[in-house]
Chain A
């Protein structure tokens, strides 16, 4: 059976409204000279028709902010039409190209004729899901034509090409939100400018909505200015400002004020245990703490006396020093200038790890985010995340810079936010996929149930295709975008726009791709020499660029997390295993270490295991995430040595005194011994299998089960 010949090509509908580009391949010695000067007054010749649209396309790409169009375009080099950040699809749809295309495709059953430029000028194959698309870098197409053709006239083939942008690129080319009416038209917005931008919005518009409380832009600006005044006028030393508040107007104003002062902010959750709060304060050594009267009660016995304490009252605008700044200087903070914020995440060393994000990195992110995921006045954006979760930075900055309304979701509503979404008429949603997954599980993602949603962002966890598709069905008017990014890369560094139909090439393990890295940033798949070549070029994702931090607050944390290449470029090793699919997009496939994700929160099992070991020295534990059966969640598998076995509740209590609630194991399972691998080390995968297979009410360690 011969190779099937593809059907005659028809120009895709999406291409008809875009620029035509006739692209000349490299000329053979026999080809006629087409390099004569162009008379712009005369009717366009074939040559002019060839070159002009290419220039138009390049200009359009540059105008779209795609990171720059690429290599030189000459008459022969028109074939080198490439650009760095996003793939351009060049459809070959002319009569002269038909034979060439069929010749190529008959030899290329996978129809991988698209290419895009990866890092270090390396070309990466790029397949296009559109069944009509015959995509290609023309040079490559020409080479293949040459390769497969035995007829000399092929050497002079001229491809009548039609350039058009894929759906993802079409979406990217849309007019940035910041140019559609918000205050900072077309300018690069720094985080420090937030307070100035607040003044440019309509004073009466609602900036932040928390339950029934609405704070206008004027009120928010006044509060931010008042906080800035208090800090400026008081003898507060240098250093960061700790924001010990719940999400809301007070926190937003504090953050705007700190950024305007060039100080970093460090979010602190009043629901975290005292020990953890004190660890964070000791690591950050803030200049002062700003709390609200809501959190003041909870933090009364937790915050050390040595820090000045400013309280924002419920009435907003009433500021009072609960502890005035004194002349005594504390320890110098390791958080220097130029840092926008510091997030503390779970660390493998048994204590929280500080991730300092530079103002420059935040600016780079906001530049992309406000253009691509921005909001406008009148939009209502969700505020889903706790301040200690770095995705909250997106919520606050992108919404307030754009002049929209930030609608705070009560903590207990985050679990199943369907009613909230409808009642609050949210137009821009941003959450971890878990929220959508929960709604999907309970059948709440009915078709059209969220008609007002126009944009949905997911980040923090792998997004499963069935959930993403169900969400798209429930929110038919919404663009659904999957973001990816570790805290170390400033909120998010890659994206994927959900297409109308799920392309088969995008389906790896049922997880939505993490897509392509933002313009100006770099992502490289590193294949360890120890593991050698993996299937589908699987490897660890390394990130570099202005959004990526250069080190942790404590240089001792994550010594192996950063690397430099021979060119001196610094890379962050994400620990995420990724593949580059046939579509050229990045696909998350797992972790190369033991890190877990619980509702989007990063959890290092070592930190929990260390807490258990310190509380019960004779007890060794392995913490896994169980996602099967009735007892889902974090499970601490324990093996006790001599003496009494700690009870499940004792272990949970010990964890609760030092760890955030999302890090407290939901269940404790006692094992007789550890399964080990060939090297004699504990086999975590086997522990997980054993726990998942055996976990049942009777298997959970009960009070004094073994003693």
Chain B
């Protein structure tokens, strides 16, 4: 994973979300399932895109998927991964 600041990560995540929905929720802690047109398959597509964009592998066997349903949750998880590198 390329080293990026949390702000960069957040903006990249928002961009990836905006490519898939009409309106990105202004509140980063809002559930993408509840506040956007993304359904569960759409979220999976977003997660795949995030893995490709950041060149990371999220371990979905151990990570609670609920924590990845918000922009803030995604940003936090990716920031943690960045720190571990």
Contacts and interface: CB of A to CB of B under 8 A. Distances in A.
B13 interface: no
A649 B22 contact: yes
A630 B19 contact: yes
Contacts of B38: 666
A412 to B, nearest CB: 5
B interface, how many residues as a size bin?
A: 20 to 34
Interface string B47-66: 11101000001111111111
A706 interface: no
Contacts of A702: 22
Contacts, number: 81
B40 A444 contact: no
Nearest to B19: A630
A412 B39 contact: no
A439 B42 contact: no
A335 B80 CA distance: 56
A598 B39 CA distance: 10
Nearest to B62: A419
Nearest to A703: B22
B44 A442 contact: yes
B23 interface: yes
Interface in A395-421: 410, 412-416, 418-419
B55 to A, nearest CB: 13
Contacts of A438: 40-41, 44
A598 B23 CA distance: 22
B65 to A, nearest CB: 4
Contact of A633 (B19, B41, B47): B41
Interface string B9-38: 000000000111011000000000100011
A666 B46 CA distance: 14
A412 B37 contact: no
A667 B63 contact: no
Contacts of B41: 434, 438, 599, 632-633
Contacts of B63: 419
Nearest to B33: A412
Nearest to A700: B22
Nearest to B40: A415
B1 interface: no
Given A652-B37, A664-B37, A630 B49 contact: yes
Contacts of A414: 40
Contact of B64 (A419, A443, A599, A648): A419
A630 B49 CA distance: 9
B31 to A, nearest CB: 8
B82 interface: no
Nearest to B66: A412
A699 to B, nearest CB: 12
A446 B51 CA distance: 17
Nearest to A450: B61
Which of B19, B20, B44, B45: most chain A CB closer than 10 A?
B44
A4 to B, nearest CB: 46
A441 B66 contact: no
B40 A599 contact: yes
A526 interface: no
A419 B61 contact: yes
A441 B20 contact: no
A412 B44 contact: no
B69 interface: yes
B65 A413 contact: yes
B69 A412 contact: yes
Contacts of A562: none
Nearest to A410: B66
Contacts of A665: 37
Contact of B61 (A412, A422, A630, A648): A422
Nearest to A440: B44
Contacts of A416: 44, 47, 60, 65
A697 interface: yes
Interface string A644-666: 00001100100000000110111
Contacts of A598: 39
Interface in A112-145: none
21 contacts: A412-B33, A413-B65, A415-B40, A415-B43, A415-B44, A415-B65, A418-B60, A419-B65, A438-B40, A438-B41, A441-B45, A442-B60, A443-B57, A449-B61, A630-B20, A632-B41, A633-B37, A633-B42, A649-B22, A666-B38, A666-B39
Given A415-B40, A439-B60, 12 more contacts: A412-B69, A422-B61, A434-B40, A441-B48, A442-B48, A442-B51, A446-B61, A633-B41, A648-B22, A662-B39, A664-B37, A702-B22
